[in-house]
Amino acid sequence: MKQKLSAQARRDKAARDLAFAKSPARRAKKAHAQREARANPSDAEGKDFDHKRGRFVSVNSNRGNEGEGTKKEGKENYRHKYYT
Residue 77 above 70 pLDDT?
no
Supply the pLDDT for residue 25.
87
Residue 29 above 80 pLDDT?
yes
Q: Which residues contact 74 (CB under 8 A, 6 or more apart)?
A: none
Query: pTM of the full predicted structure?
Result: 0.67
Binned at pLDDT 50, 70 and 90, residue 47 comes out as: very high
Supply the pLDDT for residue 81.
60
More confident residue, 67 or 44: 44
| 3-class SS of residue 80 | coil
